[in-house]
Amino acid sequence: MTERIVSSRSRGFLFLDSHPAGCTRLVQDMWQAVPDPARQGRPDADEAPVALVIGSSAGYGLAATIAGLARAGIRGAGVSFEKAPGRRTGTAGWYRTAATAELAAKHGRDFVFLNGDAFSDTLKDQVADLLDERFGGKLDYLVYSVAAPRRTDPDTGVTFASVLKPIGEAYRTKTLVFDGEGAPEVTTVETGPAEGDDIEQTVAVMGGTDWARWIDHLAGRDLLAQGFATVALSYIGSPLTASIYRQGTIGAAKAHLEQTARDLNDRLVKEVDGRALTSVNGAAVTQSSTAIPGIALYVALLRGVLGDAMVPPIAQLTQLWDQLTGTAPLDVDDEDRIRLDTWELTPAVQEAVAERWKTATTENIPALAALDWFAVQVQQLYGFAVPGIDYAAPVETDVPWPQRTT
């Protein structure tokens, strides 16, 4: 056991350590934010829907896991790729997973967390065995929420790397940075266009290939229940970020993901009377999103415009579960995508953000953007800046990965 004081040293938006107590508190707060189960009376443990969440330790996947457990009463498994505590602390997702497991157990939900590479067949086999042995051999839901920089194709051993680049021309954007003292600065950054096989590489990592491989794998083991539904998370975003996002290399990957949904859907309808969909979610501060040029400025301005009307991931994912489980009607656009991003993309909101974006400078940014909120959000990704946590006190960092209890 190693109690230590964990300090918040960072390089830009990346922190070297994570705070276990802060991560735990944030997970508890997310659970609290979910309304009680829609159905009265708890389903018998054996009748609870069986769900698999890929990417369960952070961002939208964490919200999918917590909302699924707290609202839809799911049991099943979550998969993520996190680092154990060692010389440094564990990753924030490690501690969030431990905290989620504790809450799941407290509420009587049988939920197992696996740590490993979701892109590998080894992990797919482990999950398939688990579903078979522990969860009655039938999966009702699969939520796919992976954001990763690399993927190794199990068939060929080739590793692909995703890049965030515009397609065609270089992209010059305003961007928000914080100097050594934490003072905000609005500068410009230029990103050169995709070259060589950048687009194919990004599609190979962030497109739908691995999602389809999961479905193939589980269908091949006859693990999909009648009426099985699967959802992968997607993003469209603002015209202000379109050159780097929706029209860029990552946008090509999202288009591939959405096409994969249509292909999978055709197949699942026939095979198990099932469905495959994408869910388009709104902008949120996550480790993945803060890596995208210009997104920090965009999100801080969006918050400046919307304030508390900005819909957090946990509220969006509660809506998603309600639609999946039939508590609310399934609401898809004409491309068969669930849209949980409408609060972000209404013309009035986008016009207001665009207006602020145009005039933003280092001098006026404090008046235009929610800078304090943004700074807190970034720190909270690592468990810092959480109200009620004593950061001067030593804390146990050697937290074990949740054990499977039988």
Ligand X SMILES: NC(=O)c1ccc[n+]([C@@H]2O[C@H](COP(=O)([O-])OP(=O)(O)OC[C@H]3O[C@@H](n4cnc5c(N)ncnc54)[C@H](O)[C@@H]3O)[C@@H](O)[C@H]2O)c1
Cβ atoms 124, 111 nearer than 8 A = no
Catalytic (active site) residue 95: no
Cβ atoms 297, 174 nearer than 8 A = yes
Q: Site for ligand X (CB under 6 A): which residue of 31, 119, 357, 382?
A: 119
Cα–Cα distance, 155 to 14 (Å, whole number): 33
Cβ proximity to ligand X: between 113 and 228 the closer is 113
Lookup: tokens for 322? 């309600």
- For 116-207, list the strands marked E by DSSP: 139-144, 150-152, 159-161, 171-178, 184-191
- Give me the residues paired with residue 395 across strands: 4
Q: How far is the CB of 242 from ligand X (least distance, A)?
A: 14
79 binds ligand X (CB under 6 A): yes
Segment 299 to 328, residues that bind ligand X, using CB under 6 A = none
Q: Which span (114-122, 154-162, 177-185, 366-374) binds ligand X, by CB under 6 A? A: 114-122
278 binds ligand X (CB under 6 A): no
Neighbours of 109 (CB within 10 A): 20
Who's near 37: CB < 8 A, 6+ residues apart?
A: 70, 71, 72, 73
Amino acid at 228: F
Segment 148 to 177, residues that bind ligand X, using CB under 6 A = 148
Cα–Cα distance, 89 to 162 (Å, whole number): 27
281 binds ligand X (CB under 6 A): yes
Q: How far is the CB of 331 from ligand X (least distance, A)?
A: 17
DSSP 332: B
Q: Summarize the chain as % helix, strand, coil (round to 5).
A: 40, 20, 40
298 binds ligand X (CB under 6 A): no
Cα–Cα distance, 163 to 95 (Å, whole number): 28
Segment 179 to 238, residues that bind ligand X, using CB under 6 A = 233-235
DSSP 84: P
Point out the residue whose Cβ comes nearest to ligand X: 59
Q: How far is the CB of 81 from ligand X (least distance, A)?
A: 4
Q: Site for ligand X (CB under 6 A): which residue of 202, 288, 318, 397?
A: 288
User: Which residue's structure tokens are 């590998």?
Assistant: 120
Cβ proximity to ligand X: between 83 and 134 the closer is 83
Q: Which span (69-77, 99-107, 112-120, 131-139) binds ligand X, by CB under 6 A? A: 112-120
Could you say which of 60, 235, 245, 298 is catalytic? Answer: 245
Cβ proximity to ligand X: between 230 and 234 the closer is 234
Cβ proximity to ligand X: between 61 and 73 the closer is 61
- Residues making contact with ligand X (CB under 6 A): 55-61, 79-82, 93, 117-119, 145-148, 233-235, 281, 283-284, 286-289
- Residues with catalytic function: 245
